[in-house]
A and B are shown apart, each in its own frame.
Chain A
Amino acid sequence: MTTQNLTRRHRVANLFHGFCFTVAWTGVVILGILLFHVTGEGLHWLDLQFLNDFPSRFPEKAGIRSALFGTLWLISLTATISIPLGVGAAIYLEEYAPKNSFTRFIDLNISNLAGVPSIVYGMLGLVIFVRLFDLDRSVLAGSMTMSLLILPIIIIASRESLRGVPSTLRQAAFALGATRWQTIYSHVLPAALPGILTGFILALSRAIGETAPLIMIGALTYVAFIPEGPMDEFTTLPIQIFNWASRPQKDFHELAAAGILVLLIVLLFMNSFAVYIRHWLERKI
């Protein structure tokens, strides 16, 4: 090989490095443009009146009170339903399940469920919860649908966290005469808690942003009241945003942007909470 050839090879290598470096920041640049655009459109609509009013035909009177409370209801119920089921399933699969073909089947099944489009969960919720259980278009039906949607995420995250707990911890507990459940409850779970909670909050943030399944089960786009119980009808932030964004008027588009800002602030708050919990618990243990 000649020196000339070597120079060319180095030039190609440098070009490729530069190319990858530039392209790698595309995602970040787009994120910046998106946030800048949404803030520019929506910020001047964002005030106390916007947070406190119900939706309206008149843009200047419209607010997201019902959507905000609907989202709070939906998330609290979803959390209550999905965390015991998700963590329970993860504990069974990691700590109890025998290594047989049925366990492998459950395993494969969970990873497939994680890839099912969210709208299909909406169909499931529509037929099972709304029609069969006769829950109608209630917050409860919405929460149950959302719980099924995020269960695979919670199970996968919790299992990874449980797997990270060293088995010497378990053996020490067994050696002192603890039963399997005592071992899990007082030693394994506390050690796995930071990972489980982080996965759980990430799953809930996914649920907060989901729109399609809720439209499927018939969450309403115009709701001028706050749900007072799990059987009440409801709307959520993404549905209200969808409703405003699908209207042709510019004012409503700007309202949608203001709604998006509120949604993003809620998500940011939740994610920083996840980081904080993780930090705090890890230091404690």
Chain B
Amino acid sequence: MKSNQTKIESKLASEAKVFRGGRAKSWREEVIKTTLFFCALISVLTTFSIVFILAQEAGGFFQDVSVFDFIFGTHWTPLLEPRSFGVLPLVCGTILIVVGAASLALPIGLATSIYLSEYASIRIRSLLKPLLEVLAGIPTIVYGYFALTFITPLFRTFFPKIQIFNAFSASIVVGIMILPMIASLCDNTFRAVPDSLRQGAYAVGATQYEVTTGVVIPSALSGVMSAFVLALSRAIGETMAVTLAAGATPKMTMDPFVSIQTMTAYIVQVSLGDTPAGTIAYQTIFAVSALLFIITLCMNIVSHRLLHRFREVYE
């Protein structure tokens, strides 16, 4: 049907060209079409440039440091002697943040979306949704400030042993940051689950709880998973909040109450300082960025696939 329509449209368009007969006009049409095509091509160019520059600079880095030492090394001191280029401490810091953020945001985001799609009246929905959008629109630097000046002091009054810069506060704000995203994506998938499934379950006497947990969530599972993966990939790439609140001490630890450093925070630290192009310290930020890019890209692709599977079933 759709392709048929397009066929009719293009036939009409080409006939219009014949009737108007103006060669100048068809020439103009071609110029416009080509210009627009180049606009679309910019996105492809952006991707290729990103891959190219990361590969090039990281390539220079891996001429001096072996890939094995980089990925499996447990000491990260690229700016100080003796230099060591094991990226695991930065990865460890990032994982600490992501795990903390996930354990806060996944359950709360899921419950929020369940409430929005299954329970809330239209009026409450039209109040709650925009408020969550406001939460999503707050710049990350504000969350960093909030972690540093509110959450950390708050927890330090109860547990004085917590360091001023710690993974705990940072992971809380990163969790707050990805919460609206999870809520809104899951809400979309729950609403895409056909009502006939719910009605079928009600008809055999299920309560609303049983319908939600036994029918709606299982049917939307791949959509929910897709939202989770996308949100976690966002948490991995989060920069300013962790730079401000989590500290700058690369460390292999699973203790959330001490200062750590994430991959993104390291990149910011180096670029704030005066690091000349071409030095090994300068090249490290490209190696770390390349790793960050690969991880987030893989997660985005997984999320895309999962969503696709969900859509194939219901849309």
Contact = CB atoms under 8 A, between A and B. Distances in A.
B36 A119 contact: no
A242 B207 contact: no
A64 interface: no
B265 to A, nearest CB: 10
Contacts of A180: 13, 29, 33
Contact of A17 (B9, B208, B285): B208
B180 A27 contact: yes
A91 B32 CA distance: 11
Contacts of A46: none
B28 interface: yes
Contact of B139 (A108, A178, A211): A211
B174 interface: no
Interface residues of B, number: 97
Interface in A262-281: 263-264, 267, 271
A23 B139 contact: no
Interface in B120-136: 120, 128, 131-132, 134-135
Interface stretch (B37-45, B62-70, B79-87): B37-45
B229 to A, nearest CB: 10
B5 interface: yes
Contacts of A48: none
A3 interface: no
Interface residues of A, number: 95
Interface stretch (A5-13, A50-58, A227-235): A5-13
Interface in B93-111: 107-108, 111
A13 B32 CA distance: 59
Interface in A1-55: 9-10, 12-13, 16-17, 19-21, 23-28, 30-31, 33-34, 37-38, 41
Given A27-B179, A118-B239, A242-B240, A89 B135 contact: no
B43 A155 contact: yes
Interface in A173-221: 174-175, 177-181, 183, 202, 205-206, 208-212, 215-216, 218, 221
Contacts of A105: 44
A12 B301 contact: no
A10 B208 CA distance: 9
A91 to B, nearest CB: 5
16 contacts: A9-B210, A17-B119, A26-B179, A27-B179, A38-B146, A88-B36, A96-B36, A113-B43, A115-B299, A116-B297, A117-B239, A120-B237, A179-B17, A209-B142, A211-B140, A242-B240
